[in-house]
Amino acid sequence: MTTTETTETTRSSPKQADDRFINRHASLMPTFAALGVLVVLLVAAQLYFGDFVSPGNMSALLLDNAYLMVIAVGMTFVILTAGIDLSVGSVMAFTGILLASLLGRGMPAAVAVPVILLAGAVIGLLIGILVQYFDVQPFIASLAGLFLARGLAFVVSLKSIRVDDPSVLWLQSTRFQVGDWYITPTGIIALLAVGIGAFVLQYTRFGRTVYAIGGNEQSARLMGLKVARTKVFVYLVSGSLAGLAGLILTAYSGAGYPRNGIGTELDAIAAVVIGGTLLSGGRGYVLGSMIGVLVYGTIKTVISFLGAEQAWMQIIVGGLLLLFILIQRFIVSRSERRE
């Protein structure tokens, strides 16, 4: 317990102003840290390679990681409620191959795309129902989702299916150029997902309920917030966005492949944690997750520039994840001790 001051002493103004700032924006600190890491990485890469931070490279950064960015948005929602969704990689693979398969059978893209988004949503809904109404731990519930989606992906097809539908391929092949900078529709989709996600979290009651659940679920319930509904819904959101990522990835690679996305959920979790969202819930921002994905993508690009084996990617991301967790742990134990 804090030892309270016994008298109302006036404190000097600058310290008070600092304290006020910290008291208001404590949750933003980790995200600022992530931004710092990104800047440091880019600067270091620039110094080392000489022309790393070029319009071409930066545009490619978004392009190559658009699918992960979309998934990270959904993962942010889930982790904010102190949950986790291990199914997203498999859902992405499932919806991706499902899309390829449906298109291959002649279904128009305008129908196929909503169908796969719905499929993702349904799996997410199942997970959410298990978590909320059957008190299953999110980890186990999403594990069931992982099994289900992965198996279904192979049920759709044991091998990859190429996609020839022009409207889907358009998403990836078109580039909107401004000078040497370019962006594809998939990139736009990813940025939209980030923007809409951030807006929802900040300005809607649903979004604030997400934060409330992560802060103290019991209190949120007592405050009259619709906790049950929200908890189910975040998994639905995560599943739908995983479906969207399936679309993006299929457009990107021109094919659906049932073995896609193995381990993608881990990459997404890493990106979200690096971006400043606490795994204990209640603190974090979608913009931070976007930064986390950019950090991830930058590392991947650096590794490929160096000609090193991609295996290093996993080791480094694992190491970064550990570093950020240690930092989070250190900060938490410091603030606990202050009480």
CB of 259 to other proteins, least distance (A): 9
**Can you tell me which of 196, 204, 228, 229 binds other proteins, judged by CB under 8 A?**
204
CB of 290 to other proteins, least distance (A): 20
**Dihedral angle, C-alpha 229, 78, 148, 131, nearest 10 °:** -40
Residue 91's nearest CA partner among 254, 262, 255, 269 is 262
**Can you tell me which of 44, 263, 304, 306 binds other proteins, judged by CB under 8 A?**
263
**Can you tell me which of 67, 211, 235, 296 binds other proteins, judged by CB under 8 A?**
211
Is 142 or 172 the residue whose CB approaches other proteins more closely? 142
82 binds other proteins (CB under 8 A): yes
Residues 222-251 that bind other proteins (CB under 8 A): 222-225
Is 280 or 304 the residue whose CB approaches other proteins more closely? 280
Residues 25-64 that bind other proteins (CB under 8 A): 25-27
Is 102 or 278 the residue whose CB approaches other proteins more closely? 278
279 binds other proteins (CB under 8 A): yes
**Can you tell me which of 125, 168, 220, 293 binds other proteins, judged by CB under 8 A?**
220
CB of 115 to other proteins, least distance (A): 19
CA 263 to chain centre: 14
Q: Segment contacting other proteins (CB under 8 A): 36-44, 64-72, 165-173, 307-315?
A: 307-315
**Can you tell me which of 32, 48, 151, 196 binds other proteins, judged by CB under 8 A?**
151
262 binds other proteins (CB under 8 A): yes
141 binds other proteins (CB under 8 A): yes
214 binds other proteins (CB under 8 A): yes
**Can you tell me which of 23, 110, 178, 334 binds other proteins, judged by CB under 8 A?**
23
